[in-house]
Structure 1
Amino acid sequence: MASSSVPSSQPARPPRPNLAFRRLRGSRSPAEFAAAVRRAAREIGERVSCDARYVHRVEAGEIRCPNYAYERVFLHMFPGRTLTDLGFAPRSSVRGRRTGAAGGRPENPADATSETSGACEPYETHDRYDTYDEYDPHDHEESDVLRRAFMTGGATVAAAALGPYGFAPEASAAQRPVRRAGSTDACALEEAVRRIRVLDDRHGADGLYRRAAAPLRAAYQLLDAGAVRQRTADRLYAGAGELAISVGWLAHDSGRFDDARSHYAEALATARVTGDPALEAHAFCNTAFLARDAGRPREAVRAAQAAQRAARPLGSPRLMSLLALREAGGWAGLADRAGCEQALVRAQAYFDRGPAEADPEWMTFYGEAELEGLEAQCWSTLGDWPRAARHARRAAELQNPHFTRNLALYTAELADDLARGGRPDEAAQAGMRALDLLSDVQSSRVRSMLSGTSRVLLPHRRTSGVSEFLDRHASLPRMV
């Protein structure tokens, strides 16, 4: 029962669009601007995980004032300007004020909802009050429990290179009975999805999969509890589906194909129940990728085609490009060169249309590097090693260093293509670079590729550099 001291009927003030911030973005898409924010953060040693959704929220006026980490990044990007110049409210006007508090008087800091009225800031923050959750009198008590279950740990998890996952020890808290879920719970769920994706990008799946099961269980418990409002229910279903896909991908990338198939099927069922075409397209996209890797190329083609049917009305050429690549991978597995080439042409044509407002948040990894990398895999499957190596090399050169796992993947792909194409010395050099990246990446997929490369290179041990690569690969510690 909500405390009687908390008003429950006072209407929230509608947000005012931040036009100044929108002007600063200029002609860049939200995803492109978010990438620029992340680059600026790295320049000053900050760690923020800005994405297109965050940019949308700022421009819509939902984030009245950024947390301190984002403030430092924005002021670095736009020197000489203040937060108010960027369209934000002064921190003093929002710090420690709780939505709906009578007279706007500061509340107890332990109860503060932080400075951003109307939105959650994504991922890690550096101030315990800098993650805002919209206040809802129905979900105040349980949101603290669920936030701990989903979100404790923050930046220290990445810093510890996949040490004990922050929210796993609190998973039991998520099993407690809850009243109907509210917007804070939806925010916690959405942030859990983002955090898992960021950690996977940086470190790979092997150290994450089992720990990610805890927030997934909590997500489905939220669905069972029901929601206060329909909009919140929609967010919960979408978030649970995306979380199932993220956990499925961790299983997929760590070689647990049966587990991955189950998680993707759960996400697809959620999408069908709620009539969510974006979630359906994403679930079919990952199902197609899994089917290709599991040696079921015809299923990969069918799933990719189903994904394209679901995605067509969404208005995202980049999504259609990725799905065409998924189809191309299936055709390659069927040794259908013509079908593969046709799908690759479509993928390139869609990609060339550029980013769009409708691009899904989860597609931040998909750029020119991923396009090149997936095409390399197609040519490799078809046995065209020189062509595969050209695309793999370009993928590695183009890859943003933030996506460490993908950089390791493309480099391992290059090493394998070079080895099978009769260039053992170059293959060994690429293999050594991939091994360097394994100090930060735990991916069974990458390790499996390097194992295959080492077998191909064994007859060439006397070639320059090959012996060193083979010895170093043999010394890799076993994955547990």
Structure 2
Amino acid sequence: MASSTVTSSQPDRPPRPNLAFRQLRGRRSPAEFAAQVRRAAREIGERVSCDARYVGRVEAGEIRCPNYAYERVFLHMFPGRTLADLGFAPRSSVRGRAARPAGDASSAAGTHPVPAAGGTGAAVEPEDPYDTHQNHEESDVLRRAFMTGGGATVAAALGPFALTTDTAAGPADRPYRRAGSSEATALEEAVRRIRLLDDRHGADGLYRRAAAPLRAAYTLLDAGATRQTTVDRLHSGAGELAISVGWLAHDSGRFDDARSHYAEALATARMIADPALEAHAFCNTAFLARDAGRPREAVRAAQAAQRVGRALGSARLMSLLALREAGGWAGLADRTGCEQALARAQALYERGRSDADPEWMSFYGQAELEGLEAQCWSMLGDWPRAARHARRAAQLQDPHFTRNIALYTAELADDLARGGLPDEAAQAGIRVLGLLDQVQSSRVHSILAGTARVLLPHRRASGVSEFLERHASLPRTV
């Protein structure tokens, strides 16, 4: 692969294997051990997306110190032991904010430098893509990537796969070496990083740049791979990446682009007979159809997703798919169909989590269930009930999901405004405006614009004038 203009991400020395952690795994397979980690996390109320690849990265020394959520889980699993006993490096030597000069001898083995935003060549410990919790030592790279839109910074935030895209997306007649497991792993991490960025900051600042890794993924597929297992991982990763990029297009109002990406993912899923990917593609297609004003298609796509997803054994997945169906029925003004689907979604949700839950569903908790139900009641014109669920959604949302907090609060403001409570609507709208320095989402802006139009006749109500003035001063979104 031709060298990139970006500073190499290779460490000066290879990672040092974590033999202590490998010994603790014992005779269990990496997948079995990962399932045990997820169960332990649930016991203490944590949410981690541990899988066999994560276990492999720890044992290989690529993850020198776990994030705080994993630390709590590991110490719960092995009481009386410290992180050092588990083979990890001290956090102070790994996760600090301060940049180290590239090649500094004090940089411990296994650190993968990432170019600093200012282009100085400094290196920082990479953000762990498995971290689903707020981390107070988190690098500022993610925030800068979204709020400045700088290409180099976005590449740094997307991780190693983004660094390959300049070479992978070259002319069609350029020969390209066959992909191996390292490319498949980088692709999977790019998907996780895109989801992490979207969770925190919304879609608008990332969509166009995220298309480059997607082109690179399909270039890798065209080049082929040496092993069938790698081919399968590349196809699955490319399909998930197509869904992620489709969602970024969807959330930023580019519905035609989103439809194309979701169709691409669906075709990939069917080509490799991957029911999990197919259910995911149908799930997002249903959501898009609802938002695009095609409610009957939303119902059909959600029902297709349920037919495929039933065999996967995840009650939480089936709960989300029932909510997608409920949204379609609401769009058709079918209150009975909507209520039946909502009841099914709630009953399935109450069955709890399981090891079969897809990794991409980390966003789906009680807050999301409340938020999606609020949207159904809003479409049916039941503003008080919609506001009640939207308020619950905003209150319950994990702080990690900044974009969703902004979305639920914007929906609350709109429901209150349309329900005849302009003062409460203005207060909620002002809270959303305070989040827009962290979130770039056309969906949120569109909801706020609608709320402002509804509140215009109520300027004299408490707080309404302030909300309208602050909303009017927002920079226009493209």
Separation (CA, whole Å) in 1 of partners of 2:177 and 2:265: 24
Query: Which residue, out of 376, 380, 387, partners 2:378?
Result: 380
Aligned match of 1:327: 325
- Seen in structure 2, the aligned counterparts of structure 1 residues 436 and 127 have a Cα distance that, compared at 3 Å, is closer
The answer to whether the 8 A contact 1:175-1:221 is kept is yes
| 1:479 Cα deviation after fit | 1.4
Determine whether 1:29 maps to 2:39: yes
Which of residues 35, 45, 59 is equivalent to 1:63? Answer: 59
CA offset digits 1:112-166 (Å, max 9, x no partner):
99499xxxxxxxx9447999xxxxxxxxxxxxxxxxxxxxxx9554131413221
Q: Does 1:255 align with 2:253?
A: yes
Q: Secondary structure at the match of 1:437?
A: coil
CA distance in 1, matches of 2:325, 2:283: 9
Whole-Å Cα distance in 1 between the matches of residues 407 and 321 of structure 2?
20
Residues of 2 paired with 1:432 and 1:129: CA distance?
Answer: 32
In 2, Cα distance between the equivalents of 1:74 and 1:304? 34
Q: Distance in 1 between matches of 2:177 and 2:143?
A: 35
Deviations 1:167-210 (A, max 9, x none): 66863212353221110000010011011000001110000000
Where 2:59 maps in the other structure, the secondary structure is coil
Q: Would you say 1:283 and 2:247 are equivalent positions?
A: no
Structure 2 segments unaligned to the other structure (5+ residues):
2-18, 91-104, 113-122, 130-137, 157-161
What is the aligned partner in structure 2 of residue 396 from structure 1?
394
Question: Is residue 2:187 matched to residue 1:180?
Answer: no
1:423/1:57 CA distance change after superposition, 3 Å: same
- Residue type of the alignment partner of 1:474: A
Amino acid at match of 1:222: L
Q: What is residue 314 of structure 2 aligned with on the other side?
A: 316
In the alignment, the residues of structure 1 paired with residue 44 and residue 192 of structure 2 have an alpha-carbon distance, to the nearest angstrom, of: 14
Q: Deviations over 1:58-92 (max 9, x none)?
A: 56796354634427775677497333644x4889x
Q: Of 23, 28, 49, which residue of structure 2 is paired with 1:52? A: 49
Partner of residue 155, structure 2: 166
Residue-by-residue CA offset, 1:378-421 (whole Å, 9 max, x unaligned)? 00000000000000000000000100000000000100000111
Deviations 1:228-257 (A, max 9, x none): 111111110000000000000000000000
Give the Cα separation in 1 of the matches to 2:365 and 2:128: 31
Q: Which residue of 1 aligns with 2:95?
A: none
Aligned equivalents of 1:427, 1:255: Cα separation in 2: 24
Separation in 2 of the partners of 1:341 and 1:196?
34
1:29 partner amino acid: R
Query: Which SS does the other structure have where 1:160 is aligned?
Result: helix
Question: 2:111·2:125 contact (CA, 8 Å) conserved in 1?
Answer: no
Residue 264 (structure 2) aligned to one of 263, 266, 271: 266
- 3-state SS of paired residue (2:203): coil
Match of 1:448 in 2: 446
Counterpart AA for 1:352: E
**1:3-42 correspondence runs (5 A):** 18=25, 29=39, 32=42, 36=46
Within a 5 Å distance, the mapping from 1:407-446 to structure 2 comes to 407-446=405-444
Aligned pair partner of 2:195 in 191, 197, 214: 197
Matched residues, number: 406
Contact 1:189-1:240 at 8 Å conserved across structures:
yes
Counterpart residue identity of residue 81, structure 2: R
8 Å Cα contact 2:127-2:139 kept in structure 1: no
Distance 1:73 1:169, change over 3 A: closer
Are the equivalent residues in 1 in contact too, given 2:64–2:110 (CA < 8 A)? no
Q: Deviations over 1:417-439 (max 9, x none)?
A: 00111111100000001111111
Cα–Cα, structure 1 residues 353 and 455, in superposed 2: closer, same or farther, change >3 Å? same
Q: Matched residues in 1 for 2:345 and 2:362: separation?
A: 17
- What TM-score do you get using the length of structure 2 for normalisation? 0.77
- Three-state SS of the structure 1 residue aligned to 2:46 is helix
Once the 2 structures are TM-superposed, how far is the Cα of residue 465 of structure 1 from its aligned partner? 0.5
Distance 1:61 1:263 in 2: 30
**Mapped partners of 1:224, 1:359: distance in 2:** 30
Determine if contact 2:430/2:467 at 8 Å carries over to the other structure. yes
Task: From the superposition, tell whether residues 245 and 452 of structure 1 become closer, same or farther in structure 2 (CA, over 3 Å).
Answer: same
8 Å CA contact 2:418–2:454 kept in 1: the answer is yes
Contact 2:295/2:328 (<8 A) preserved: yes
**Alpha carbon RMSD of aligned pairs, Å?**
3.5
User: What are the Cα deviations for residues 424-476 of structure 1, in whole angstroms up to 9, with x where unaligned?
Assistant: 11000000011111110000000000100111111111001011001111111
CA contact (8 A) 2:426 2:463 kept: yes
Could you tell me the TM-score, scaled by structure 1's length?
0.77
* Structure 1 SS opposite 2:155: coil
Code of the residue aligned with 1:261 in structure 2: it is R
User: Which segment drifts farther, 17-26 or 270-279?
Assistant: 17-26
Summarize the Cα distance change of 1:25–1:292 in structure 2 as closer, same or farther, 3 Å threshold: closer
Identity of aligned residues (%): 69
**1:227 to partner: Cα distance:** 1.2
| Counterparts in 2 of 1:184 and 1:261: CA distance versus 1, 3 Å | same
Unaligned runs of 5+ in 1: 2-12, 38-50, 92-108, 117-124, 132-153
- One of 344, 347, 350 as aligned partner of 2:345: 347
What's the counterpart of residue 336 of structure 2? 338
Whether 1:245 aligns to 2:243 is yes
For residues 114-129 of structure 1, the aligned pairs below 5 Å read 114=110, 126-127=124-125
Q: Distance in 2 between matches of 1:260 and 1:297?
A: 16
* AA aligned opposite 1:160: R
Choose the corresponding residue for 2:209, options 208, 211, 214: 211
The answer for the alignment partner of 2:365 in structure 1 is 367
Deviations 1:250-304 (A, max 9, x none): 0000000000000000000000100000000000000000000000000000000
Return the letter of the residue paired with 2:167: A
Aligned 1:87-102 pairs, distance under 5 A: 88=87
Cα separation, 1, equivalents of 2:277 and 2:227 = 20
